[in-house]
Copies of this chain bind each other. A is one copy, B any other.
Amino acid sequence: MHIETEATQHLQSAAKAAREASHVLARMSDGARNAALCKMASSLRAHTAAILTANNGDLAACNGTAAFRDRLALNEARIESMAKGLEDIAQLPDPLGRMLADWIRPNGLRIQRIATPIGVIGMIYESRPNVGADAAGICLKSGNAVILRGGSESVRSAAAINTALVAGLREAGLPDTCVQIAPNADRAYVAAMLAGAGLLDLIVPRGGKSLVERVQREAHVPVLAHAEGLCHTYVHASADHAMARKIVANAKMRRTGICGATETLLIDRSIAAALLPAIVADLRALGCDFRADASARDIVPELSPATEADFDTEWLDAILSVAVVDGVDAALAHIKRHGSEHTDAIVTEDPNAARRFLDGVDSAVALWNASTQFCDGGEFGFGAEIGIATGRIHARGPVGPDQLTTYRYLVIGNGQVRP
């Protein structure tokens, strides 16, 4: 209870300072925000030794798996990459003040809709310490103040990175309080953030499913997140075989641990016998394992059998669930039953089938003839990414029928895979 109170008090004072800083940021020119991003980048480079020392401390205290240690580990190249990331963000067009709409009413009133910062953002993340710097950069660029709360395993690294970022802010003449960090990695601080209605305008959780689900369940503040990315690639009867092989291999195996990785291959019955053996061979060569339904195992008998639960599993690993389906509607029905409204793709040369699929799937991102791994802010041309949201957003100001909609992205390719 004492810790809870301390966390709450810290957050209240941090959020108040962040609110004031956000007002300064919102009035500041794009040039001034960009100059600060460049100072933060230089400061990260100048603090390399201190950051690496702190990171060694985190690594020494860490008893996680090799993959976990790799996510936690920093080196000079990774710090340079964080710094370069901030400079890249500085090069992006100004997100603020954009005229989103402009119209004139019959009575002569001119109405304009203008982009404006969200305000104060709380970022809750887990092991990778670079997430803090990336998030600080994106928030600053978009005129938002941010309060960072990293994981307990990276607490020393996160503090050292924050010290560097704040030194850069100060050098640029911006309030220190544009970017703040939780004083420790106590769980009480997360609880205080989730309860922080009126203090925070938005929470962005980045991490495992259990973290995100806890945040979605308990937060009294809007949450921008996805709990999981159970993404499908559907190979339609009229798919180009070579394109389908290339796309499935990339969508599953380019990186298996990201939320846009394909977890389930849906393959049309009419093409399965001809194409599935080649797809399996391609993926096997890349180290992939399979969980397949009975129809797929009739074609490639050595595949491991899938349980119903396998189709609800986000593997985030070199494992692919495989189901044979009868046409577009069956593929859509499978995705509705098992999907997470994140990212789903169809491979086909038939524009009618593509249209039916793209219209029927209600994911945040639907692709035609491209790899699901393109679901990424950088790949969309956004220049940087703080996360991927599968929530169904709404509106500000007067709300009529147009404002009672959200949006989804269609991505139309001709066989693109992500390098």
Contacts and interface: CB of A to CB of B under 8 A. Distances in A.
Interface string A116-139: 111101000000000000000011
Contact of A397 (B383, B398, B408): B408
A224 B397 CA distance: 10
A95 B400 CA distance: 9
Given A92-B400, A222-B394, 16 more contacts: A95-B405, A111-B411, A112-B409, A116-B407, A143-B405, A201-B392, A217-B220, A222-B391, A364-B396, A365-B397, A380-B397, A380-B400, A386-B404, A388-B399, A397-B407, A397-B409
B118 A406 contact: yes
Contacts of A118: 392-394, 404-406
Instruction: Name, among A96, A218, A388, A397, the residue most crowded by chain B CB atoms within 10 Å (CB to CB).
Output: A397
Interface in A38-55: none
A121 B404 contact: yes
Contacts of A364: 396-397
Interface string A86-129: 00010010011010100101011111111111110100000000
B115 A402 contact: yes
A279 B144 CA distance: 40
Instruction: Name, among A109, A112, A388, the residue most crowded by chain B CB atoms within 10 Å (CB to CB).
Output: A109
Interface residues of A, number: 90
Contacts of A139: 404
10 interchain residue pairs of minimum CB distance: A382-B400, A377-B398, A142-B404, A377-B400, A364-B397, A95-B401, A115-B405, A110-B412, A112-B410, A142-B401
Interface stretch (A76-84, A157-165, A233-241, A368-376): A368-376
Identical chains bound together, number: 2
A143 B116 CA distance: 28
B409 A113 contact: yes
A109 B374 contact: yes
Contacts of A408: 113-114, 116, 396-397
Contacts of A370: 109
Contacts of A365: 397-398
Contacts of A374: 109
B224 A395 contact: yes
Contacts of A218: 220
A384 interface: yes
B217 A197 contact: yes
A200 B275 CA distance: 41
B396 A142 contact: no
A359 B27 CA distance: 8
Contact of A392 (B98, B202, B388, B390): B202
Given A112-B409, A410-B111, A141 B395 contact: no
